[in-house]
Amino acid sequence: MKRDFLCMQGVSADTLTKLMDDAVGMKKIVLSGDKSRDILKGKTVATLFYENSTRTRCSFEDAAKYLGATVTVVDVSTSSVQKGESILDTGRTIEAMGTDVIVIRHSASGAPKYLADNVKCSVINAGDGLHAHPTQALLDLFTIREKFGRVEGLTVTIIGDVKHSRVARSNIVSLTTMGAKVRVYGPPTMIPVAAERLGCEVCTSIEDAFRGSDVIMGLRIQLERQQKGLFPSYGEYARFFGVNPERMKLANKGAIAMHPGPVNRGVEFSYALCEDECCYKDVQVTNGLATRMALLKWILED
Amino acid sequence: MKKLLIKSVLVRGEKKDILTDGDRIEKIAAGIKADGCDVIDADGLTALPAFVDMHVHLREPGFEYKEDIESGSKAAVAGGFSAVCCMPNTKPVTDNKYIVRYIKDRAKEVGLVKVYPIAAVSVGEKGETITEMGKLKEAGAVAFSDDGRPVESAQLMRIALEYAGGLNMPVISHCEDLSLVNDGVMNEGYISTLTGLKGITRASEEVMVARDIVLAETLGARVHIAHISTKGSAQLIREAKARGVKVTCETCPHYFAATDELCKDNDANAKVNPPLREESDRLAMIEAIKDGTVDAIVTDHAPHAKHEKEGGFVGAANGISGIETSFALSYTALVKSGEITLERLGELMTANPASIVNIECGRLEEGGKADITLVDLNEKYAIDKNEFFSKGKNTPFHGREVYGRVRFTVVDGNVRYKR
């Protein structure tokens, strides 16, 4: 059976723990002078990104390279997105070249699963529509565990456009799996229907959202996907939903602020917060590399 | 005249013989003796007036790769139907008398099921000006609809309701506020939140149902609401009917036999418009069927080619190929489960839709039209899309266990389907 990594549903706490344990060692490689390993020597990883990305794509490519795999970057012009047949045709072409893992990002929810169902090689979801971004959730989990030494029993509050966020969806699932308490807060136009059935609590005020939180997770306002008009202005958003050092003081002692990036400075996070030591967004980037290395190893190990 | 003797069949619970003469039923009695006519031994089968589907898509002209009048006719009789009304979203649009005549002529050549075209409300289904409704009626259209699209302009809808009303022709409204649909691909609810598939609020259907009720009420006009799917739509129509508004409505088997749970694994065969809703809506549909709010069960038979349902949920076409599963799904969900009687199902699938579009349908009585379907109510089987006569194999019900098999379909006294 091939291994895919498509969403956090059904990924057990044991698997998540194993991946995080492995990522500890991988992080040492990332931070060391010699990053060349041959754990994945002879394997090929292809990245197939139908949506723009800098950090996620680079992170996957570097992760594969550091472990000795060959990387193929498939250049997909963004204009050819959406057409179902093309994902399948492209995927099968890549597979026919002997690729072991396809890392795909697509604007249509479900596209990676569709690809995975139709190719024999492994598929990793690097973000699909509003559905899932499981490697982001994995690196977030790792970052939280690294900081607090545990995930269980912590309170994580996700603030922002939860409705249109695949990061939020995946995080809610994995954090809940690991025993954290997850809460969400944002403009009512950005909170999904039946959010509580995902296993999270919906906060009723910005103060409530911060109080009792160990982790505050901001979400990027998705300019590229967001329909206009779900909130009146950036100024209004920052005023009522923004994360800043003053509000962080309402959170638990030692609380951290996380963000999947890229941050719209002055909107989701204030300028001051971005420079504050409680802001972990750069740590997340390093951890993204480490966790993706661990994931690639897990996907390809016998 | 050609005669057909159906022996030992259950007619309203009593075992009888039915003798037809031409397109009429001559006699219904026990132990009919007749020589020189075809005989069906129907022991164990139940006779029902053949079904009438007032909402199908036969796709011809223009989309013959999805379905054509021949394949659609075969599918219809296999589903137990003697008559279908086909929607005008063909290519070109059925907005002129020539296409109406073409469809009728093709259906006659095929000679299986009676096909009654529904013509467009607006020229090209563009929502700008009404079609030549009088000429379309003369050519044989039985109703008007821009189905597949809403009539967005309330003013155009007003004109259509008034003008068609003058011709004593129904307008069938596809209720959907496109601004509220907002790129949604499935029902907005827990499953859409879970899957990250963009949701469609129930309000997108309900605000349009409300608008059309207001128009019908204010103008004293008559309107038929197509494929209702939500609890709210049912309630709006229930209340309007109680006030005396001339509104009728239909729903489809997939709205009372399925929910958006079927979308959970991104099965594009469960993608349909309006979308499959939640359990509370499904139960509300059954309630609305029981209390008479729903007048007709239709299939909204929407065949698509295989490739149009591939490529993932988001890009897949909307629609379910439903004409061959309608009776079994309805019988199982409504009658076998004890919600309504078989007679009531007959009204919903035959007499009521026929009355809305003003066509004659089968009646199990002497002198009645000899459109008769014989069903085996005890046969339990799994729906198999590979057995469909329709070119469209797009069903989310493949493998679903159901009761009620259509065994014979008699149209105008001729056996048009047997199994």
d(CA A262, CA B268): 33
d(CA B46, CA B43): 8
Q: Are the CB atoms for B219 and B161 separated by under 8 Å? A: yes
Claim to verify: residue A115 and residue A150 sit in the same structural domain: no
The ipTM value here is 0.87
**Cross-chain residue pair A130–B196, CB shorter than 8 Å:** yes
Q: Which of A109, A115, A131, A222 to mutate to test the interface with B (most CBs of B within 10 A)?
A: A109
Q: Are the CB atoms for B260 and B187 separated by under 8 Å? A: yes
Strand spans (E) along chain A: 44-49, 70-74, 101-106, 122-128, 155-159, 181-185, 201-202, 215-218, 256-258
Looking up residue A194, the CATH number of its domain turns out to be 3.40.50.1370
Q: Are the CB atoms for B250 and B227 separated by under 8 Å? A: yes
State residue A222's pLDDT score.
Answer: 74
Residue in the structure block whose two tokens are 């036999």: B257
Size of interface A-B (CB pairs under 8 A): 75
SS (H, E, C) B111-126: CCCEEEEEECCEHHHC
**Residue B310: C-alpha distances to residues A46, A125, A127, B341 (Å):** 23, 19, 20, 39
Claim to verify: residue A57 and residue A122 sit in the same structural domain: yes
- Let me know if residue A4 belongs to a domain: no
- Let me know if residue A243 belongs to a domain: yes
| CB neighbour class for B355 (10 Å; exposed up to 12, middle 13-18, buried from 19) | middle
Smallest CA–CA distance from B198 into chain A, residue: A130
Q: Which of B17, B147, B212, B300 is catalytic?
A: B300
Q: Which chain A residues are Cβ-neighbours of B196 within 8 angstroms?
A: 109-110, 128-132, 166, 169
Beta bridge partners of B29: B17
The predicted-structure confidence for B23-74, as pLDDT tens digits, reads as follows 999 999 999 998 889 999 999 999 999 999 999 999 999 999 999 999 999 9
Claim to verify: residue A180 and residue A265 sit in the same structural domain: yes
- Let me know if residue A205 belongs to a domain: yes
Claim to verify: residue A159 and residue A291 sit in the same structural domain: no
Output the pTM of the full model.
0.92
d(CA B299, CA B254): 8
**Residue A52: C-alpha distances to residues A47, B17, B160 (Å):** 12, 71, 47
| DSSP calls for A69-99 | -EEEEE---GGG-S-HHHHHHHHHHHHHTT-
Claim to verify: residue A182 and residue A81 sit in the same structural domain: no
Count the Cβ atoms, other than its own, within 10 Å of residue A219.
25
Minimum-distance CB partner of B193 among A82, A113, A193: A193
Residues 6 or more apart in contact with residue B111 via CB below 8 angstroms: none
**Cross-chain residue pair A113–B188, CB shorter than 8 Å:** no
| CB neighbour class for A70 (10 Å; exposed up to 12, middle 13-18, buried from 19) | middle
Strand-pair category, A181-185 with A201-202: parallel
Closest among B298, B340, B234, B224 to B76, alpha carbons compared: B298
Count the Cβ atoms, other than its own, within 10 Å of residue B338.
7
CA quadruple B359, B364, B365, B370: dihedral sign: positive
Residue in the structure block whose two tokens are 């695949």: A166
Minimum-distance CB partner of B193 among A9, A108, A192: A192
- Let me know if residue A164 belongs to a domain: yes
Our CA-based measurement puts residue A167 at a distance from the nearest CA of chain B, in whole angstroms, of 11
Claim to verify: residue A164 and residue A272 sit in the same structural domain: yes
Claim to verify: residue A171 and residue A272 sit in the same structural domain: yes
Claim to verify: residue A167 and residue A273 sit in the same structural domain: yes
Residue in the structure block whose two tokens are 């690639």: A296
**Cross-chain residue pair A108–B314, CB shorter than 8 Å:** yes
**Cross-chain residue pair B310–A88, CB shorter than 8 Å:** yes
**Cross-chain residue pair B311–A84, CB shorter than 8 Å:** yes
Which tokens is B104 given?
Answer: 């009728």
The tens-digit pLDDT sequence of chain A (302 residues) is 899 999 999 999 999 999 999 999 999 999 998 999 999 999 999 999 988 888 899 999 999 999 999 999 987 765 444 455 578 888 888 999 999 999 999 999 999 999 999 999 999 999 999 999 999 999 999 999 999 999 999 999 999 999 999 999 999 999 999 999 999 999 999 999 999 999 999 999 999 999 999 999 999 987 654 566 788 888 899 999 999 999 999 999 999 999 999 999 999 999 999 999 999 999 999 999 999 999 999 999 86
Q: Which domains does chain B have, with CATH numbers?
A: 53-362 (3.20.20.140)
- Let me know if residue A2 belongs to a domain: no
d(CA B9, CA B374): 8
Claim to verify: residue A247 and residue A182 sit in the same structural domain: yes
Residues 6 or more apart in contact with residue A186 via CB below 8 angstroms: A159, A160, A161, A162, A163, A219, A241
Amino acid at A171: N
d(CA A174, CA A178): 6
Instruction: Look at chain A and report how many structural domains it folds into.
Output: 2
Claim to verify: residue A208 and residue A91 sit in the same structural domain: no
The tens-digit pLDDT sequence of chain B (419 residues) is 789 999 999 999 999 999 999 999 999 999 999 888 999 999 999 999 999 999 999 999 999 999 999 999 999 999 999 999 999 999 999 999 999 999 999 999 999 999 999 999 999 999 999 999 999 999 999 999 999 999 999 999 999 999 999 999 999 999 999 999 999 999 999 999 999 999 999 999 999 999 999 999 999 999 999 999 999 999 999 999 999 999 999 999 999 999 999 999 999 999 999 999 999 999 999 999 999 999 999 999 999 999 999 889 999 999 999 999 999 999 999 999 999 999 999 999 999 999 999 999 999 999 999 999 999 999 999 999 999 999 999 999 999 999 999 999 999 999 999 99
State residue A85's pLDDT score.
Answer: 52
- Let me know if residue A35 belongs to a domain: yes
Smallest CA–CA distance from A133 into chain B, residue: B196
Range of the domain at A111: 13-132+285-300
- Let me know if residue A1 belongs to a domain: no
Claim to verify: residue A222 and residue A156 sit in the same structural domain: yes
DSSP state at residue B347: I
State residue A228's pLDDT score.
Answer: 66
**Has B21 been annotated as catalytic?**
no
Our CA-based measurement puts residue A188 at a distance from the nearest CA of chain B, in whole angstroms, of 14
Claim to verify: residue A78 and residue A111 sit in the same structural domain: yes
**Helix%, strand%, coil% for chain A, nearest 5:** 45, 15, 40
Minimum-distance CB partner of B313 among A83, A110, A193: A110
Strand-pair category, B46-49 with B38-41: unpaired
Minimum-distance CB partner of B196 among A88, A166, A227: A166
- Let me know if residue A145 belongs to a domain: yes
Beta bridge partners of A265: A269
The predicted-structure confidence for B122-169, as pLDDT tens digits, reads as follows 999 999 999 999 999 999 999 999 999 999 999 999 999 999 999 999
* B contact set with A (CB within 8 A): 182, 188-190, 192-199, 266, 307, 310-316
Which tokens is A13 given?
Answer: 């706490």
